[in-house]
Amino acid sequence: MPKELNKLEKIIKVVFNRKELLEEAIVHRSYINEHANFHLGHNERLEFLGDAVLELIVTRHLYLNYPNPEGELTNWRAALVNSKMLSETAEEMGLYDYLYLSKGEAKDSNPKARGYILANAMEALIGAIYLDQGFEVASKFITKNLLSKLPRIIEKKLYVDPKSNFQELSQEKVGITPSYQVLEESGPDHNKKFVIGIYLEDELIAKGVGTSKQEAQMDAAENALKARYF
């Protein structure tokens, strides 16, 4: 199925010299498994390169623009380059619509799997931009799409994990340490689903869902932060 690469180029604001690099960046391994004679390989090698390019450009920007200690810069970098941030940015671009996926992957409604695919594709795209256009164009792309989010990350303390962040806020604002309770538990052992509530004393602030208690707690804390309770 041919992809409309020119539309994708308009979205990312990069016109490729070697269109096959852009196309390879959006080929998921599952597609190759179904289409062994496809003219390109999957995007994992580009992802490997893009991961390194992304980390270098973000690190360089932080080093040159912020005099903060190494520990803080490391936390900020992690918040910018983690899979959640990458997948969210890819979603904003509508990148999923351009991916080459197997029929099974395309129908999979699991948000975690979708996020993982998108994060990897974002890294592959960065790798492709770097190979085709060089360091400065890759840097411009990363600055516009990821580094632009840094002020909000710092202001909202998004570099702190949600549980720690909400606990710090709740202790500071109301003097209460939040607690967590399992509200629902379902599914077989290999595919559990937990619904967990986050409480301030007896008040339910938010709920979270996950495949483990820890994941559901993190989701609950993140939802509590989004609720702007304080």
| pLDDT of residue 109 exceeding 80 | no
- Tell me what pLDDT residue 3 has: 65
User: Coil, strand, or helix at residue 183?
Assistant: strand
Task: Give pLDDT tens digits for 42-62.
Answer: 999 999 999 999 999 999 999
| pLDDT of residue 158 exceeding 90 | no
Based on the residue annotation, tell me whether 123 is a catalytic residue of this protein: yes
* pTM, rounded to two decimals: 0.79
State the binding site for Mg(2+): 47, 120, 123
**Domain locations in the chain?**
5-155, 162-226
Provide the pLDDT confidence category of residue 102 given band limits of 50, 70 and 90.
Answer: very high
- Tell me what pLDDT residue 190 has: 81
Based on the residue annotation, tell me whether 51 is a catalytic residue of this protein: yes
Q: Give me the catalytic one of 123, 132, 219, 222.
A: 123
Phi, psi for residue 156 in degrees, rounded to 5: -90, 5
| pLDDT of residue 113 exceeding 90 | no
Looking from the CA of 66 toward its CB, the CA atoms found within 13 Å total 19
How many beta carbons lie within 10 A of that of residue 50, not counting itself? 27
- Tell me what pLDDT residue 1 has: 42
Q: What would the mean pLDDT of 139-157 be, rounded to a whole number?
A: 94
Q: Provide the Cα torsion 6, 11, 13, 19; round to 10°.
A: -30
User: Coil, strand, or helix at residue 109?
Assistant: coil
Q: Where are the alpha helices (DSSP H) in 82-212?
A: 83-93, 103-107, 111-133, 135-145, 150-155, 162-174
- The more confident residue out of 107 and 10 is 10
Tell me which residue of 39, 41, 36, 37 sits closest to 26, measured CA to CA.
41
> Average per-residue pLDDT in the chain?
93
- Tell me what pLDDT residue 227 has: 85
Whether 46 and 24 have beta carbons less than 8 Å apart is answered as yes
Task: Kindly give, in sequence order, each residue whose CB lies less than 8 Å from that of residue 63, ignoring residues fewer than 6 positions away.
Answer: 73
User: With pLDDT > 90 as the criterion, what percentage of the chain qualifies?
Assistant: 81
- Tell me what pLDDT residue 44 has: 97
- Tell me what pLDDT residue 223 has: 93
Residue type, 211: T
Provide the pLDDT confidence category of residue 79 given band limits of 50, 70 and 90.
Answer: very high
Q: Tell me: domain 5-155, CATH 1.10.1520.10, correct?
A: yes
Dihedral sign, Cα of residue 25, residue 27, residue 28, residue 33: negative
Tell me which residue of 114, 54, 50, 102 sits closest to 79, measured CA to CA.
54
| pLDDT of residue 132 exceeding 90 | yes
User: With pLDDT > 70 as the criterion, what percentage of the chain qualifies?
Assistant: 98
Residue type, 49: L
Query: What is the CATH class of 162-226?
Result: alpha beta
26-40, 78-92, 98-112, 194-208: which has the minimum mean pLDDT?
98-112
How many beta carbons lie within 10 A of that of residue 64, not counting itself? 7
Residue 194 tokens, joined: 């937990």
Looking from the CA of 54 toward its CB, the CA atoms found within 13 Å total 30
